[in-house]
Structure 1
Amino acid sequence: MALESPTVVFVGPSLPVHSRPNTGGAVTWRQPASRGDLAGLDLPPGSRVVLIDGYLIQQHPPSPTEVSGLIERGHEVWGCSSLGALRAAELRHHGMRGYGWVYDRVVDRTITYDDELVAPLDPRTGEAAGLFMANIRYGLGQLIAAGRASHRGAQTLIDDLRALHFEQRTIRRCRALAMAAGLDTDAIDELLTSDVKRNDAAALITHITNPVPTP
């Protein structure tokens, strides 16, 4: 069932087209946001705007002031996964709503560098051609919880990856560093497929388009 007011979602590599939940037309999908895209929206009062991805490197991203402008105009604004998580953390006391693991880790300052949410993109598809550091952090946490990685090995891998420019965080490089940090092959394979950014984005879209009825 379509929502009464429009929902506009700015998204890119965090939730590629083939991974997007079926919203039955409740969502208008937009490309990652750059400076001016949010201010230029012409929406009826009470519309919902979800900021997931935005340009952090190639172009200027929407500023906190630009996001605040949407809230001041009476719109419901959510953020998760990438630039959306950063802006939601910055504006959490000013009406923006954050969602998901990445948002929580920005708030608690586990993630303090923007480049943990950036990866080189395939120019043909717009999808990530490298690894997001945030996904690696999440995957290591899961492996530690399952007793399949040590805190020391995980920290070694995080430190080694943090020392690299984001464009150098390739699957091949991460695999080699993970082996050197003591992870076994199965654990490494699981780590490299961890995608909490995508999980957060899909869960948020499902949450806002299929709200749980209040008893």
Structure 2
Amino acid sequence: MNVCVFTGPTLAAEAARAELDDAVYLPPVAHGDVYRVARRRPAMIGIVDGFFERVPAVWHKEILWALSEGIHVFGSASMGALRAAELEAFGMEGVGAIFEAYRDGELEDDDEVAVAHGPAETGYRAGSEAMVNIRATLAAAVRAEVLTEATRSALEEIAKARFYPERNYADLLRQAAACGLATSELEAFRAWLPAGAVDRKRADAVAMLRRMRRRLETEPAPKRVDFTFEPTVFWEDVTLGAGVLDGDDEGSGGATTLERLLDELRLIGEPYRRERDGALLRALALEAAQRRGLVASDADAAEAADRFRHTLGVQEAGAFERWLADNHLDHPRFDELMREQVVIDAVRLALERTTLRGLADQLRLADRYRELAARAGAKARELEARGLPEPALDDAGSTREELLAWHFGRVGLPAAADFAGYARSLGYADGSALVRALARDFVYRQAGGESPLPSDRLADLARKLVDDLGRRAQEGAPEAPSGRRG
């Protein structure tokens, strides 16, 4: 996507390609569209047409951002001419007579370039005539000696007084006749019109595309501007609402923006609050990592990726590629996420004691404290009464493999190849600490009359665990040695 052009009723995409074939042609620009496209880093953006009435118009600040990011931005004919006249001093390039008229103050009203048009299915076909085109056509009729200057002036006044969707030559001639203008001139003008009508907007749009094509042939360096882009609260709102997550920046109308994604999450209630809080903690951890100068090594990032893919069950290449596509990610962004996860884990470890001190209060706020505290107390009392405050594997009557198989079966996860890493992710010092906790829980459940699993079933699960780990080892995944605790 080296060049992107927003066009519509002024110049259909098919006609535009005859002037600049190597471009992506998008619908009329609206609020947020330039930002979305600029995020893909095209060399150039051209703006011809834009929405302005039923949806918010393209914002000046998103054009300034694109310029500050080194993108050449051109405007002409319609919305592009308006924005170029306003932003020429900041580096936007205007092309054509309409742009010059706005820039020089000869034109001021936005309705000079506005037209009614059809939907996308019609190619945004114009349903009215732009005032700038009417002015140019009337001036040409005077030069051709079809109209007198007085009649031209009167026709301009009649056209300007009409609401922009109602401007067309047939209506203009009816209104002029009703106002008593000379019938002979009006009939001469009517006969002259088909061939004599001037489409100033189209001509300017074509001129812009030709300039962009010539500029591309020179392989221009990134745009340089002499201003510093200043983000604001309003700019943050634009980027939040306009940021595309699925890469669909080409005007299909079905792009997944963050705001649309948030709507779906908000509508299911509690998960929004939970995931929002998780995102907050992630952002705070990344800030803390930056302050501490933490950077993930390639090896650590690769290890984090292996653990993540194992947790999701997408170790196989095809399954992983499908997961990336489903989550609108590419490999570089996934690698970035894993590097972020490494430094977040480092911050979590550094702040472990502080975090754990606050965990009881977090459980109270989540209304989970009473349930877990009651179970912890009951477990401690039962094991003390049995003289087994810290049961060993022998007390549980199970092997380490059986205990692990029981645990992973209970939590509904595949057996972790990197068991020590899995244990650390749960806040245990090592795998042995988790095994001891599992032994306490297993014995407690047995003491309470609960049969975790029949012994033959445990043996089956343990064999399956060993087989799975062996298979993963052959596939290249790291295996936790079964003959060693931790």
Q: Name the TM-score, length of structure 1 as normaliser.
A: 0.86
How many matched pairs? 208
Pick from 74, 78, 85 the counterpart of residue 82 of structure 1: 78
Q: Name the residue aligned to 2:96.
A: 100
SS at structure 2 position matched to 1:147 = coil
- Pairing of 1:56-67 with structure 2 (within 5 A): 56-67=52-63
Q: Name the residue aligned to 2:212.
A: 208
Give 4+ residue runs of structure 1 displaced > 4 Å after superposition: 211-214
Hey, what's the Cα distance between the residues in 2 that align with 1:149 and 1:196? Answer: 19
Q: Which amino acid aligns with 2:88?
A: R
1:128 aligns with 2:126: yes
Q: Name the TM-score, length of structure 2 as normaliser.
A: 0.40
SS at structure 1 position matched to 2:146 = coil
Hey, what's the Cα distance between the residues in 1 that align with 2:5 and 2:64? Answer: 16
Q: Name the residue aligned to 2:112.
A: 116
- For residue 18 of structure 1, report the CA deviation from its aligned partner: 4.1
Hey, what's the Cα distance between the residues in 2 that align with 1:17 and 1:109? Answer: 30
Hey, what's the Cα distance between the residues in 2 that align with 1:189 and 1:101? Answer: 22
Pick from 190, 200, 203 the counterpart of residue 199 of structure 1: 203
Hey, what's the Cα distance between the residues in 1 that align with 2:207 and 2:176? Answer: 29
- For residue 134 of structure 1, report the CA deviation from its aligned partner: 0.9
Q: Which moved more, 1:78-87 or 1:53-62?
A: 53-62
Q: Name the residue aligned to 2:7.
A: 11
- For residue 17 of structure 1, report the CA deviation from its aligned partner: 3.1
- For residue 98 of structure 1, report the CA deviation from its aligned partner: 0.4
- CA-to-partner distance for each residue in 1:121-173, whole Å, 9 max, x for gaps? 12341110111111111112222233332222111111111111112213320
Gaps of 5+ in 1: none
Q: Which moved more, 1:179-188 or 1:94-103?
A: 179-188
- For residue 210 of structure 1, report the CA deviation from its aligned partner: 3.6
Hey, what's the Cα distance between the residues in 2 that align with 1:146 and 1:213? Answer: 39
Q: Name the residue aligned to 2:348.
A: none
- For residue 9 of structure 1, report the CA deviation from its aligned partner: 0.3
Q: Which amino acid aligns with 2:207?
A: A
Hey, what's the Cα distance between the residues in 2 that align with 1:91 and 1:211? Answer: 20
Query: Are the counterparts in 1 of residues 112 and 130 from structure 2 also a CA contact under 8 Å?
Result: yes
SS at structure 1 position matched to 2:140 = helix
- For residue 203 of structure 1, report the CA deviation from its aligned partner: 2.1
Hey, what's the Cα distance between the residues in 1 that align with 2:143 and 2:89? Answer: 32
- CA-to-partner distance for each residue in 1:86-110, whole Å, 9 max, x for gaps? 0000011110100011111212223
Query: Are the counterparts in 1 of residues 158 and 176 from structure 2 also a CA contact under 8 Å?
Result: no
Query: Are the counterparts in 2 of residues 130 and 170 from structure 1 also a CA contact under 8 Å?
Result: yes
Query: Are the counterparts in 1 of residues 13 and 25 from structure 2 also a CA contact under 8 Å?
Result: no
Query: Are the counterparts in 1 of residues 141 and 147 from structure 2 also a CA contact under 8 Å?
Result: yes
SS at structure 1 position matched to 2:201 = helix
Q: Which moved more, 1:121-130 or 1:203-212?
A: 203-212
Gaps of 5+ in 2: 219-486
Q: Name the residue aligned to 1:186.
A: 191
Q: Name the residue aligned to 2:40.
A: 43
Larger Rg: 2
Hey, what's the Cα distance between the residues in 2 that align with 1:129 and 1:107? Answer: 27
Q: Which has the higher contact order (CA 8 A, sep 6+)?
A: 1
Q: Which moved more, 1:30-39 or 1:177-186?
A: 177-186
Hey, what's the Cα distance between the residues in 1 that align with 2:193 and 2:20? Answer: 37
Hey, what's the Cα distance between the residues in 2 that align with 1:43 and 1:23? Answer: 23
Q: Name the residue aligned to 1:146.
A: 144
Hey, what's the Cα distance between the residues in 2 that align with 1:25 and 1:157? Answer: 39
Hey, what's the Cα distance between the residues in 1 that align with 2:93 and 2:151? Answer: 34
The Cα RMSD (Å) is 2.3
SS at structure 1 position matched to 2:32 = coil
Hey, what's the Cα distance between the residues in 1 that align with 2:43 and 2:49? Answer: 19
1:22 aligns with 2:22: no
Query: Are the counterparts in 2 of residues 21 and 206 from structure 1 also a CA contact under 8 Å?
Result: no
- For residue 190 of structure 1, report the CA deviation from its aligned partner: 4.2
Query: Are the counterparts in 1 of residues 20 and 210 from structure 2 also a CA contact under 8 Å?
Result: no
CA pair 19-213 structure 1, distance change in 2 beyond 3 A? closer
Query: Are the counterparts in 2 of residues 178 and 188 from structure 1 also a CA contact under 8 Å?
Result: no
Q: Name the residue aligned to 2:160.
A: 162
Query: Are the counterparts in 1 of residues 19 and 206 from structure 2 also a CA contact under 8 Å?
Result: no
Higher strand share: 1
- For residue 35 of structure 1, report the CA deviation from its aligned partner: 0.3
Q: Which amino acid aligns with 1:27?
A: A
Q: What percent identity do the matched residue pairs reach?
A: 25
Higher helix share: 2
